[in-house]
Amino acid sequence: MEKQQPKNFNPPILKLISVVSGAYLLYYLWWRVTATLAPDAPIFSWVLFLAEAFGVFNYLLFSWMTSNIAPSLPFQKLREENLKVDVFIPTYNEDIDILEATLVGCKNIRYPHRTYLLDDGNRPAARELAARLGADYIARPTHEHAKAGNINYALTQTDGDFIVILDADMVPQPEYLDRTLGYFDDEKVALIQLPQEFYNQDSIQHASNTPSWHEQALFFRVIQPGKNYTNSAFWCGSPSVVRRSALEDVGGVATETITEDIHTTVRLHSRGWKTLYVNEPLAYGIAPQTMESFLLQRLRWAQGTMQLYRSKESPLWKRGLTWKQRLSYLSSFLAYFESFQKLVLVLTPVIILTLKVFPMQVSVGDFLLRWIPYFALNFLANQIGGRGVFQYFKTEKYNILKMVVFIQSTLTLVHNKKLKFKVTPKSVDASVYMKESRALRSYMAIAGILAGSMVYGILEIFSLHEWTLSWDVFFIAFFWAAYNDYIILFALLEVFGKKHERKHYRFPVNLHGTLTAKYPAGYLTQIKIIDLSMAGVGFVLDKTIPLGFYGLRIQMQVPGFGTLSLPLENIHYQRTQNSSAVTVGASLTHVQDSERERLIEFLYINLARTDTELNCRVMDWDPFSQLRKYLKRLLPVTR
């Protein structure tokens, strides 16, 4: 089936708003540095100015890099049908259930290929799983260099011309190779990187009110496509396709840093190879489920990037890169330093309220006269440049949550301590809530400091001490602190509000079936299935299931998959919704292999597939669409 393409990747107003906002932001910085710096607090004043200047510089890089995100190459159909392709699934300690879903996905890839399970855990259960699902099993004798070493060893044991790299949890779609191999007709293309999309939309990085949006959405849907135009789209590990000869040309996957993917990309670019980002979701994985795993993953990425930039192969001075590639890499590098800017902006109102120092020598009226257009244009430009994927409050929340680990990661620039590759946890255990509290201690402390500064400021007003701040400065600092505290508390409440009682993600479904029992014989009732996973099911029926019934089984018709028969193990709850509906939660047991494989295919391939229209709507985003919607709602009233 031919994929539907977006109509307009670049809003017509984008160039105008980029020029206007860029010019005004530069004017604002000039005004700040020439007319507002406070001589009585020079350090405080300059630190705040530099934080603002850093934000402007980052915006200018973002605007330049994302000025065009349309595909740099049209879809390339396969011309050659006999390409030799190997699929690599590196694994260490991921659950067998997770590997099973990925291997079933690989089994369903239509283009001829061989699948290899690269098990650094040397687990008999993983070997048996590979044999059952038609994959080859590779376990290396030594385990140096983690994932990079695992892939490099597999390269010596295989001979495919092209290598698909899939993380242990990344389930490919059947058309994965049909939609990617054609781009390799250009013999200089070394790598095809695809977006990372996730089926567990209840993860810590998904917005609870907009589950199609996740914390990496701006990078994968806007920034990476823009990097195609400077040949600087970089390898993110999975999901991807790599040309073997290109990897061999740079000595295999880089092992000197814990972010082997971007490091290897730098080597490829320095040798003149092309990389291509294809903005088409063709595999779906598991996003970090908890804040602990989210922060662990982001810390590894940040520390590995710092390792790369302090090395002799830093993109800033590695020979063979163009200036556009260096600037694009610099933009990605500086993203980690936004945390210092965020820390300054979080603590500035605290300093104003507690030390009674204002870092500007300007009236509040003059400041607001220039700052309000600065903020409004910055907001509008990011919203339009982000093609509707940029979400201000959501981005603020995650930037604050990443702040501490990103600042921590920059220590890697000044010391050369050996770092250990840590696998991102893909499941949770009974200690999850304790770990969440431990992971968020720093943010709870910052929230307390902000609240304390506001209380202190109010107490100072009513004390007998001389109050040195003007009322307008006090109110600006107070509401600034309150805003920062609100963002942090909102983030904390959302994290602590996440439930982690299930091992497997429950896919929402709308299916009809029947519930039968061994005892009493002949029991049969119609049900509606509302959610489903490999381990459990939720359904609705018109009356409670009496105690003493056993051998319960659900039979349901699934379009395209026939009848699925799922035996129930335990009924965990029965909740009466109203006088005629009961919601039931149950766990599954002993699903036969053939049935299990069809269930996996239905869940992780059929249901996990993101509606293509989603990304089209994002890319066709019209900055005035919301305004038009509001006007349409008002029209009946104004007539």
Q: What is the CATH number of the domain that holds 519?
A: 2.40.10.220
Query: Which amino acid, one-letter code, is at 385?
Result: G
Clarify whether residues 231 and 356 are in a common domain. no
The whole-angstrom separation of Cα 45 and Cα 348 is: 10
What is the distance between the alpha carbons of residues 181 and 70, in angstroms, rounded to a whole number?
A: 20
- How much is the average pLDDT of 389-400? 89
Residues 569 and 475 in one domain: no
Q: What is the mean pLDDT of residues 22-51?
A: 94
Give 309 or 80, the one with higher predicted confidence: 309
Same structural domain, 368 and 492:
yes
Contact 112, 85 (CB under 8 A): yes
In a domain, 349, yes or no: yes
pLDDT of residue 622: 57
Q: Is the pLDDT of residue 306 over 80?
A: yes
Which sign, positive or negative, has the C-alpha torsion 282, 210, 490, 355? positive
Q: Which range has highest mean pLDDT (210-224, 235-249, 386-400, 410-424)?
A: 235-249
Q: Are 443 and 481 in contact (CB under 8 A)?
A: no
> Residue 325: inside a domain, yes or no?
yes
Angstrom CA distances, 254 to 43, 177, 266, 304, stand at 42, 25, 10, 12
pLDDT for 35 equals 93
C-alpha distances out from residue 352 to 18, 324, 339, 489, 608, Å = 33, 41, 20, 21, 49
23 lies in the same domain as 103: no
The answer to the question of residue 386 being in a domain is: yes
Q: What percent of the chain has pLDDT over 90?
A: 58
In this structure, how many other beta carbons lie within 10 angstroms of the beta carbon of residue 610? Answer: 16
Is pLDDT above 60 for 354? Answer: yes
Position 405 pLDDT exceeds 50: yes
How would you classify residue 356: left for phi > 0, otherwise alpha for psi between -120 and 50, otherwise beta?
A: left
Structural domain contains residue 624: no
Residues 175 and 242 in one domain: yes
Please give the Cα distance from 305 to 398 (Å, whole number).
Answer: 19
Does some domain include residue 634? Answer: no
Whether 615 shows a pLDDT value over 90: the answer reads: no
- The reply to whether 44 and 96 lie within a common domain is no
* Cα 158 to Cα 181: distance, rounded to the nearest angstrom: 19
Find all residues with CB under 8 Å of 355, minimum gap 6, and list them: none
Count the residues in the chain: 639
For position 417, what pLDDT does the model report? 66
Q: Are 227 and 72 in contact (CB under 8 A)?
A: no
Same domain, 245 and 150: yes
Same domain, 247 and 349: no
**Residue 207's pLDDT band (cuts 50, 70, 90):** confident
DSSP secondary-structure letter at 412?
G
Q: Are 214 and 206 in contact (CB under 8 A)?
A: yes
* 531 within domain boundaries: yes
Hey, is 137 helix, strand or coil? Answer: strand
* Cα–Cα distances in angstroms (integers) from residue 342 to residues 54, 87, 372, 442, in the given order: 11, 41, 19, 14
Separation in Å, CA 168 to CA 131, 269, 425? 16, 27, 11
Judged against a pLDDT cut of 60, whether residue 3 lies above it is answered with no
Q: How confident is the model at residue 84 (pLDDT cuts 50, 70, 90)?
A: very high
Of 281, 303, 336, which marks where a domain is finished?
336
> Which range, of 119-133, 416-430, 524-538, averages the lowest pLDDT?
416-430
Same domain, 345 and 288: no
Judge whether 440 and 448 are in contact, CB under 8 Å.
Answer: no
The contacts found for 327-333 with CB under 8 angstroms, 24 or more apart, are 327/61, 327/64, 327/230, 328/65, 328/227, 328/230, 328/232, 329/232, 329/234, 329/266, 330/61, 331/58, 331/61, 331/62, 331/65, 332/234, 332/262, 332/305, 333/305, 333/309
Number of domains in the chain: 3
Bridge partners, residue 116, by sequence: 88, 136
Boundary of a domain, candidates 336, 370, 405: 336
Residue range 137-145: mean pLDDT, rounded: 92
Q: In this predicted model, which residue has the larger pLDDT, 40 or 117?
A: 117
- Give the residue, 463 or 170, on which the prediction is more confident: 170
Identify the domain boundary among 276, 303, 336.
336
Give the pLDDT band (50/70/90) at residue 473: confident
Kindly tell me if the per-residue pLDDT of 639 is higher than 50. no
pLDDT above 60 (res 612): no
Query: For the domain that residue 331 is a member of, what is the CATH number?
Result: 3.90.550.10
Question: For 288-310, what is the mean pLDDT?
Answer: 89
CA–CA gap between residue 379 and residue 377 (Å, rounded): 5
Mean of per-residue pLDDT scores for the chain: 87
Query: Given this model, what pLDDT does residue 290 score?
Result: 85
Average pLDDT (511-519) is: 91
| Predicted local confidence at residue 519, as pLDDT | 87
Q: 0.75 cut: is pTM over it? A: yes
Residue with tokens 């290396």: 140
In a domain, 177, yes or no: yes
Range of the domain at 535: 507-607
pLDDT at residue number 437: 80
**Cα-only R_g, the chain:** 27
- On the question of pLDDT at 275 being above 60, the answer is yes
Looking at the structure, tell me whether residues 176 and 211 fall in a common domain: yes
Task: Tell me, yes or no, whether 638 lies in a domain.
Answer: no
Task: Please answer whether residues 345 and 485 qualify as being in contact, where contact means their C-beta atoms are separated by less than 8 angstroms.
Answer: no
pLDDT score at 147: 93
Report whether pLDDT(347) > 90. Answer: yes
637: pLDDT strictly greater than 60:
no
- Structural tokens at position 9: 């990747």
Q: Are residues 564 and 531 in the same domain?
A: yes
Amino acid at 212: S
Average pLDDT over residues 200-219: 85
pLDDT value at residue 195: 95
Q: Is the Cβ–Cβ distance between 453 and 349 less than 8 Å?
A: yes
- Note the pLDDT of residue 426: 54
Judge if 244 and 327 occupy the same domain. Answer: yes
Which residues fall within 8 angstroms of residue 223, CB to CB, at 6 or more apart? 62, 65, 66
Q: With bands split at pLDDT 50, 70 and 90, how would you rate the model's confidence at 638?
A: very low
What tokens were used for 571? 């009924």
